[in-house]
């Protein structure tokens, strides 16, 4: 049971506030959490107020849960009051008299998380209530109560709490299906964490099984994790060298599996997560370092008033995270010509299908002179083979996410393993069946390859709203509108919306991200003519993505300022709750379906090479699968031909065809909304003490 203490209201009235507070303190100690006298006094005041309020006859038979753990948020609800009619989410601010946006966002997010992730909360009204015990005045009640949904946050103080709870309760009709308190307590609360949240929990040595149980279908994720560990243990027992390939559809949890190997209960000394995705490394490192250093991300890492005093701990934490999360290109360059084996005996190679071929790996750039002479898969095996006995590479393979030239693909991994004595591999059948030869590990059975289909992740878990999103995106991008429409219809709709108005897109994204949830815009790096639409700003470097993903409005660098777009390079491997996709002219509708092009000089040039066409298509696949909840696709209006200043690089007829295709595929037209102003919200808080 996730509540530290639960009881009927009758039982609540029979115990003293001191007795109940002592029980909560004992529960706190059993979880190895530090207790403070101030917390004990706050519990006593909270319980005394609840006893006074709930002594009224209407609350007889109600159930109360105190300190209900919210796994995804790493926080706890002070009290959940369960009646036959509704679920009251009560957040107490004992001794406080003024409301802040962060307080409202906190209790609203609690309610939203129960609605999304608690099995017995769907179909019942959820009423969040912020209780400021010392407030002289609070906002009036709003009575637009949903029947089965999350109501606006109500405010109360110590004087009027009873009156306001009664008014909210009595405004609801008697339910057809009464809510039963014990059934609600016994039901599962299984949230899907974001990648950053998951990494934070795993860094504290929690198991992937504890953090990725949103639906029954995530048994697939547990089975894959078990298959990885099984292959590692077999190789360790036999003192073998092994490459374990983990395949899967976009958003199915490949990165989560990899992080579990590095940070989870199975972590062993000498394990590192390697990725060529520099923004992913930067964002995860900073989030984990801030958490480890005790810097409160709830107010934004750069705004923490105690950050300067914690700088020493932050430096140490950054050092720790830099060992576990490394840039794969630098790892290979640093170890390519060393004689000694690396410190790591097990490496997780993220997006391994994107490892560079020999030509790309050996290419000099303005920033570096290459020291690599082989393909990155070949260097990886040569480096890890310096270990005597057991060593392993866990290669995470993302289908349909190749977005750059010079990517070697699975075929190069297979060629290198076959040519490297002493190495064997384990993979699912999917690794042999790609329609693209470059993405097939082998053309058939091979003596060095064992098959374990548990290593294939087939169920998307990123999308909380629908598991049909990845299949719908694939059909839409493969020009199969009938199939996409059928997928959308069978799923009861997919969480994709189309609008031609940037203002409407911004308003919708703010409306879709209540509480602590966050939104942001993404765009293709090839969408060069968005400049003419007034929306060309994009993230650069590695510092900008850190601020974009971790800071919060009113910091204008934050994603939820909705001013700057992340490209496919900045957002791959990461996610937001709601995403706005600004559609560019690099993928457009032609007579035979999709056409791809690049902008050069003053006009567009057609892309004809099959490999480059697939890169552009995969770019939009990445962008369309970044949202946990909804994706709003903004197709710019373009330039009308009868406009005296018509711009031929973005004709409105082309944009019209794109929007029409998406709607034909089953995306929904965005309903008009009132333009919303951004709300100051706290950043996600990664305080791990509540669960460790």
User: What percentage of residues in the chain have a pLDDT greater than 90?
Assistant: 55
User: Does residue 514 form part of some domain?
Assistant: yes
Our CA dihedral for 473, 474, 477, 481, rounded to 10 degrees, sits at -80
Total structural domains within the chain: 3
According to the model, what pLDDT value does residue 280 have?
Answer: 79
Q: Is the pLDDT of residue 558 over 50?
A: yes
CA distance 409 to 432: 12
Q: What is the mean pLDDT of the segment spanning 235-244?
A: 96
Residues 161 and 301 in one domain: no
Residue 484 domain flag:
yes
Examine residue 25 and state whether it is found in any structural domain, yes or no: yes
Between 312 and 254, whose confidence is greater?
254
Average pLDDT score over residue span 651-656: 95
The DSSP code sequence of 547-585 is HHHH--TTSTTSGGG--SEE-HHHHTT--EEEEEEE--T
Q: 692 in a domain, yes or no?
A: no
Say whether both 416 and 560 belong to one domain.
no
Query: Tokens standing for 565?
Result: 């777009």
Categorize the per-residue pLDDT at 222 as very low, low, confident or very high, splitting at 50, 70 and 90: confident
User: pLDDT digit string (tens) for 442-462?
Assistant: 998 999 999 999 999 887 666
Residue 50 lies in a domain: yes
Residue 369's pLDDT is what? 79
Q: Is the pLDDT of residue 295 over 70?
A: no
- Model pLDDT, residue 145: 57
Q: 258 and 382: one domain? A: yes
Q: What is the pLDDT of residue 225?
A: 86
Distances (CA, A) of 552 to 161, 281, 283, 549: 31, 20, 14, 8
Under 8 Å between Cβ of 528 and 599: yes
User: Residue 691's pLDDT is what?
Assistant: 24
Confidence of residue 215 (pLDDT cuts 50, 70, 90): very low
CA distances from 69 to 118, 187, 276, 636 (A): 12, 13, 36, 43
Query: For position 565, what pLDDT does the model report?
Result: 95
Cβ–Cβ under 8 Å, residues 519 and 628: no
| Enclosing domain of residue 109 | 3-186
CATH number assigned to the domain comprising residue 434: 3.40.50.300
3-state SS assignment for residue 523: strand
In a domain, 249, yes or no: yes
Among residues 540, 597, 543, 533, which one has the least CA distance to residue 564?
540
Per-residue model confidence (pLDDT) at position 260: 81
Q: Collapsing DSSP states into helix, strand and coil, what is residue 544?
A: helix
pTM above 0.85, yes or no: no
Q: Kindly report the average pLDDT of the chain as a whole number.
A: 85
User: Model confidence over 599-616: pLDDT tens digits?
Assistant: 999 999 999 888 888 889
Answer yes or no: do 90 and 167 share one domain.
Answer: yes
One domain for residues 531 and 618: yes
Instruction: Return the pLDDT at 160.
Output: 96
Task: Report d(CA 73, CA 12) in Å as an integer.
Answer: 27
Look up tokens 């694939």; give the residue: 474
Judge if 424 and 489 occupy the same domain: no
Query: Looking at the predicted structure, is the pLDDT value of residue 305 above 80?
Result: no
- pLDDT for 689: 25
Q: Indicate the angle between helix axes 17-30 and 37-53, nearest 10 degrees.
A: 130
> What's the rounded mean pLDDT across residues 341-362?
90
Left if phi > 0, otherwise alpha if psi is -120 to 50, otherwise beta: which for 365?
A: beta
Token couple for 590: 């032609």
Tens digits of residue pLDDT in 143-164: 765 567 899 999 999 999 999 9
* Residues 247 and 176 reside in one and the same domain: no
Is 350 inside a domain boundary? yes
Same domain, 491 and 451: no
Residue 687 lies in a domain: no
| 437 and 473 co-located in one domain | no
């Amino acid at each position: 049971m996730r509540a530290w203490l639960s009881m009927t209201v009758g039982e609540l009235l029979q115990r003293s506030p001191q007795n109940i507070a002592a029980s909560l303190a004992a529960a706190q100690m059993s979880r190895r959490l530090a207790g403070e006298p101030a917390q004990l006094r706050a519990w006593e005041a909270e319980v005394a107020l609840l006893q006074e309020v709930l002594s009224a006859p209407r609350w007889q038979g109600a159930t109360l849960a105190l300190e209900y753990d919210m796994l995804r948020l790493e926080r706890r609800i002070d009290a959940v009051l369960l009646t036959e009619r509704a679920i009251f989410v009560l957040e107490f601010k004992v001794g406080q008299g003024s409301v802040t946006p962060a307080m409202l966002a906190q209790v609203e997010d609690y309610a939203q998380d129960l609605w999304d992730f608690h099995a017995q909360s769907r179909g019942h009204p959820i009423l969040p209530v912020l209780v400021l015990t010392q407030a002289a005045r609070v906002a009036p009640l709003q009575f637009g109560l949903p029947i089965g949904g999350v109501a606006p946050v109500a405010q109360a103080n110590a004087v009027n709490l009873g009156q306001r709870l009664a008014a909210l309760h009595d405004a609801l009709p008697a339910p057809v299906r009464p809510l039963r308190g014990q059934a609600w307590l016994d039901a599962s609360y299984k949230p899907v964490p974001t990648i950053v949240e998951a990494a934070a929990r795993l860094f504290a040595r929690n198991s992937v099984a504890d953090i990725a149980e949103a639906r029954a279908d995530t048994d697939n994720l547990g089975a894959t994790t078990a298959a990885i560990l099984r292959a590692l243990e077999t190789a360790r027992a036999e003192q073998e060298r092994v490459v374990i390939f983990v395949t899967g559809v976009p958003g199915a949890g490949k990165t989560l599996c990899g992080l579990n190997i590095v940070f989870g209960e199975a972590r062993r000394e000498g394990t590192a997560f390697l990725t060529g995705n520099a923004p992913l490394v930067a964002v995860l490192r900073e989030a984990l370092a801030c958490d480890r250093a005790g810097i409160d991300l709830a107010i934004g890492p750069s705004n923490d008033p105690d950050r300067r005093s914690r700088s020493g701990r932050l430096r140490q934490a950054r050092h720790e995270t830099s060992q576990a999360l490394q840039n794969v290109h630098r790892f290979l360059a640093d170890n390519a010509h060393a004689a000694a084996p690396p410190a790591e005996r097990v490496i997780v190679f993220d997006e391994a299908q994107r490892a560079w071929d020999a030509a790309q790996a050996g290419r000099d750039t303005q920033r570096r002179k290459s020291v690599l002479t082989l393909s990155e898969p070949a260097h990886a095996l040569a480096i890890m083979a310096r270990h005597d006995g057991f060593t392993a590479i866990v290669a995470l393979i993302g289908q349909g996410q190749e977005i750059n030239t010079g990517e070697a693909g699975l075929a190069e991994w297979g060629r290198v393993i076959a040519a490297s004595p002493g190495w064997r591999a384990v993979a699912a059948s999917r690794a042999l069946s790609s329609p693209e030869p470059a993405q097939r590990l082998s053309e058939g059975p091979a003596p060095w390859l064992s098959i374990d289909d548990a290593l294939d992740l087939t169920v998307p878990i990123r999308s909380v709203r629908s598991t049909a999103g990845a299949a719908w995106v694939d059909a839409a991008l493969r020009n199969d509108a009938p199939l996409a429409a059928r997928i959308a219809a069978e799923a009861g709709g997919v969480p994709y919306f189309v609008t031609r108005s940037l203002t409407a897109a911004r308003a919708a994204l703010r409306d879709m991200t209540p509480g602590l949830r966050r939104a942001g815009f993404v765009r293709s790096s090839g969408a060069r003519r968005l400049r003419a639409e007034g929306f060309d700003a994009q993230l650069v470097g590695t510092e900008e993505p850190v601020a974009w993903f971790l800071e919060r409005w009113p910091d204008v660098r934050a994603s939820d300022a909705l001013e700057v777009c992340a490209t496919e390079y900045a957002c791959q491997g990461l996610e937001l709750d709601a995403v706005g996709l600004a559609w560019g002219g690099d993928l457009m509708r032609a007579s035979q379906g999709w056409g791809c092009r690049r902008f050069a000089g003053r006009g567009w040039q057609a892309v004809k090479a099959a490999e480059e066409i697939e890169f552009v298509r995969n770019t939009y696949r990445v962008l369309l699968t970044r949202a946990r909840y909804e994706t709003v696709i903004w197709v710019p209006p373009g330039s009308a031909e009868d406009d005296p200043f018509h711009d031929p690089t973005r004709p409105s007829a082309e944009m019209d065809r794109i929007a029409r295709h998406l709607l034909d595929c089953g995306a929904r037209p965005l309903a008009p909304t009132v333009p919303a102003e951004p709300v100051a919200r706290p950043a996600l808080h990664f305080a791990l003490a509540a669960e460790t």
